[in-house]
Amino acid sequence: MIGTTRPGFTAAQYGVCLKGIVWREALRFLHQRERFVAALVRPLVWLFIFAAGFRQVLGMSIIPPYETYVLYEVYITPGLMLLIQLFNGMLSSLSMVYDREMGNMRTLLVSPLPRWFLIVSKLVAGMAVSLPQVYTFLAIAWFWEIEAPVIGYIAVLPALMLTGLMLGSLGMLMSSLTKQLENFASAMNFVIFPMFFASSALYPLWRVREASPWLYLICELNPFTHAVELVRFALYVQIDWVSLAVVVGCTALFMVGAILAYDPSRGLVARRGEP
Amino acid sequence: MGRGNLAAIASLLMAVEQPELPALDVEGVSHRYGARQALIDASFPVAPATFTVLLGLNGAGKTTLFSLTTRLYGIQRGLIRIFGHDVSRAPSEALRMVGVVFQARTLDLDLSVVQNLIYHAALHGIGAHEARARAAAMLERIALSDRANDKVRNLSGGEMRRVEIARALLHSPRLLLLDEPTVGLDIKSRAAILDHVRGMVKEGISVLWATHLIDEVSQHDQVVVLHQGRVLACGTAAHIIEAAGTGDIRSAFIALTQTGEAA
């Protein structure tokens, strides 16, 4: 009787599964219009109010990849793109914790496809949902006269896919460490704000070094800094190799961590007991 | 006669000769969460095409057993096999034969009934086209065709359960696990769901029905009595009643669990 089903799955079946997971994430996103609005309002507040106010205070010098003096708004745009992805990654992991409490996570994890594939698909889905958010923000910024070279908008796509995966994996890893929603919400405060502020998102690092060498070191070690720089350079059709290496390395590290954490026999989820 | 036909006949002959494997085989399974022992050396089979009731009070270990069978946690000690496939060693082969209805509601409330079903099918590698056809047939069976495009949020508790059962059957599993499926439902919905699932056994599906509601057990059912992580009895309801020397399954359960506690 065992011979009645063919062992393993075909590539097409893997494809169907991935597509299904991304499709569900997209549907959920479309149903949560407030989430989309909130995701856009957050960076726009920074751009329209914070950056406008700081324009006079913070003088910019010419630093790569920029070839001329740039407005402060232009400088912080890549950081704000990443802010969208950071929140998206954390919220999508928040939905993992919520799903785990509500049981939706169970539906995903009892799929017969390999666990690592389900986790990676979930990460791809979260990343995919972040892309239209970032591009909508870029479109609005464009009317605010924050214009990158046209080809930069295409060149930045692979960079955004990578950073989206990195931040999603980080969130997923965190979600496996926290059992309850409240804990996770507070954990977000300890991650999102330090990551964002101790990075090159809002100020160039040479200025930070002048202020505090220690803070400069922390910023340099912060993967978020490298995600921001990777995107900043890509938007001007350049590659920052160090940042690329750091982002690829961190993505791999966080992803493997998340897969191990959700592995039933080894994982933290299993060790702690009830889901 | 083509080679394919020969192969089919050969495999048919082999199937006839082979002793039938149990749908589910739980062997010496123990599990602990930190200091709390949730299952202690639990063993029992679920024979193919039977309705087996896993009877136990809340906290007896039913949900833990389900979580281990569906590989949400790794098995710490013992062995669980589904139609001969070891859940730890060949999880994919084992899981594709199982449909599960969890105790907690696991439908996506913001998605429509059909969207929920298509998502589930995708998780089993079934494409959207095929999934739509299967979903339509399933919804027809549970008499919810007219609700196909409604958001799940707008369904009643009983309707949600029926959708969850339809979803669990979408990938044509041969073993259906249900964890307290009637909890929180009114008497009419409970009876309808119980009837529906009993009907599926006649079609050859094996069912493991976990419950603490003794009145859901009928004389001919296979029953596994689980108490404080131990399997206290296993057999047909009639057999368990006789062995306990009582008049009905309720008193047999009480007698068994009291001796269990004394021991």
**ipTM of this complex prediction, to 2 decimal places:** 0.85
Kindly state the average pLDDT of the residues B152-169.
93
- More confident of the two residues B15 and A125: A125
% of chain B beyond a pLDDT of 70: 91
Asked if A35 reaches chain B (Cβ–Cβ under 8 Å), the answer is no
Tokens of A13: 């079946």
- Please tell me the predicted confidence (pLDDT) of residue A173: 87
User: Which of chain A's residues have a Cβ under 8 Å away from the Cβ of B21?
Assistant: 1-2
A contact residues 209-268, partner B, Cβ 8 Å cutoff? 263-266
Residue A55: per-residue pLDDT: 77
Banded model confidence at residue B218, pLDDT cuts 50, 70, 90? very high
Chain A residues with CB inside 8 Å of B118's CB?
20, 23
User: Per-residue pLDDT tens for B99-148?
Assistant: 999 988 889 888 999 999 999 999 999 999 999 999 999 999 888 999 99
Minimal CA separation from A186 to chain B, in Å: 26
Residue contacts between A and B (CB atoms, under 8 Å): 124
Q: Cβ contact (<8 Å) for B71 and A13?
A: no
Of A272 and A260, the one with more pLDDT? A260
Q: Place A275 in a pLDDT band, splitting at 50, 70 and 90.
A: very low
Residue A130 is assigned to a structural domain of this protein = yes
pLDDT at residue B4 in the model:
55
Joined tokens for residue A130: 């972040």
pTM here is 0.87
CA nearest to A1 within chain B: B15
Give the pLDDT of residue A193: 86
- Domain-by-domain residue ranges, chain B? 21-97+173-263, 108-171
Query: What's the helix, strand, coil split of chain A in %, to 5?
Result: 75, 0, 25
Read off the pLDDT band of A6 (50, 70, 90): low
Q: What is the pLDDT of residues B169-216, one digit of tens each?
A: 999 999 999 999 998 888 988 999 999 999 999 999 999 999 999 999
Chain B residues whose beta carbon lies within 8 Å of the beta carbon of residue A28:
108, 110-111
Q: Find the residue in B nearest to A23 (Cα).
A: B119
Nearest to A13 by CA among A126, A103, A118: A118
The CA-atom distances, in angstroms, between A205 and each of A71, A237, A265, B78, B120 are 17, 21, 43, 57, 47
Q: Which of A101-105, A166-170, A191-195 has the lowest mean pLDDT?
A: A101-105
Domain range enclosing A32: 11-272
Nearest CA in chain B to A109: B72
3-state helix, strand, coil in chain B (%, to 5): 45, 25, 35
Residue B6: pLDDT band with limits 50, 70, 90: low
For residues A22-37, average pLDDT: 88
pLDDT at A4 > cutoff 50: no
pLDDT at B15 over 60: no
Residue B1: pLDDT band with limits 50, 70, 90: very low
| CA separation, residue B125 to residues A176, B92, B245 (Å) | 26, 12, 50
Give the A window 110-169 contacts with B, CB below 8 Å: 110-114, 118
Q: Is residue A209 part of a domain?
A: yes
Among A176-180, B40-44, B47-51, the range scoring the smallest mean pLDDT is A176-180
B125 → closest Cβ in A17, A27, A265: A17
Average pLDDT over residues A72-96: 88
The Cα–Cα gap between B258 and B263 comes to: 9
pLDDT band at residue A57 under the 50/70/90 scheme: low
In a domain, A28, yes or no: yes
For residues B220-241, give the mean pLDDT: 94
Q: Is the pLDDT of residue B261 over 80?
A: no
Asked whether residue A229 is domain-assigned, the answer is yes
Check residues A97 and B217 and name the one with the higher pLDDT.
B217
Confidence of residue A92 (pLDDT cuts 50, 70, 90): confident
Name the residue facing B119 among A12, A24, A113 (closest C-beta): A24
Q: Are the beta carbons of A21 and B122 separated by less than 8 Å?
A: yes
- Which residues on A lie below 8 Å from B98 (Cβ)? 110
Angle at A87 between CA A82 and CA A88, to 5 degrees: 90
Please state whether the peptide bond connecting residue A65 to the residue before it is cis, i.e. omega within 30 degrees of 0.
Answer: yes
pLDDT at A106: 78
Q: Which of B90, B106, B126 shows the shortest C-beta gap to A16? A: B126
- Does A6 fall in a domain? no
Mean pLDDT in residue range A128-150: 93
Contact A265 B88 (CB under 8 A): yes
Helix (H) / strand (E) element for B45: namely strand B36-46
Does residue A225 lie in a domain region?
Answer: yes
Asked if residue A5 is part of any domain, the answer here is no
How many domains is chain A partitioned into structurally?
1
pLDDT digit string, tens, across residues A145-175: 888 999 999 999 999 999 999 999 998 888 7
Phi (first) and psi of residue A98, to 5 degrees? -60, -45
- pLDDT more than 70, % of chain A: 85
Identify the band that residue A270 occupies on the pLDDT scale cut at 50, 70 and 90.
very low
Residue A163 covered by a domain:
yes
C-alpha distances (whole Å) from A51 to each of A72, A144, A202, A203, B98 are: 6, 12, 9, 11, 56
Decide if B102 and A103 are in contact by the 8 Å CB cutoff.
Answer: yes
B9-13, B51-55, B214-218, B242-246: least confidently modelled range:
B9-13
What is the band of B19 on the pLDDT scale with cuts at 50, 70, 90?
low
**Quick one: average pLDDT of B80-90?**
94
Mean pLDDT, range B155-165, rounded to an integer: 93
Q: What are phi and psi of B126, to 5 degrees?
A: -100, 125
Residue A167, token pair as written in the block = 């931040």
Inter-chain touch B122–A266, beta carbons under 8 Å: no
Residue from the list A104, A264, A274 with its beta carbon closest to the beta carbon of B74: A264
The arithmetic mean of pLDDT across residues B242-257, rounded, is 92
Give dist(CA A199, CA A224) in Å, integer: 6
Residue A2 has what pLDDT?
38
Chain B interface, best mutation among A110, A119, A179, A268, by max B CB count within 10 A: A110
Interface contact A20-B122, CB threshold 8 A: yes
Record: contact A5-B97, CB cut-off 8 A? yes
What is the per-residue pLDDT for A3? Answer: 38
Residue A103 pLDDT = 66
**CATH for B21-97+173-263?**
3.40.50.300
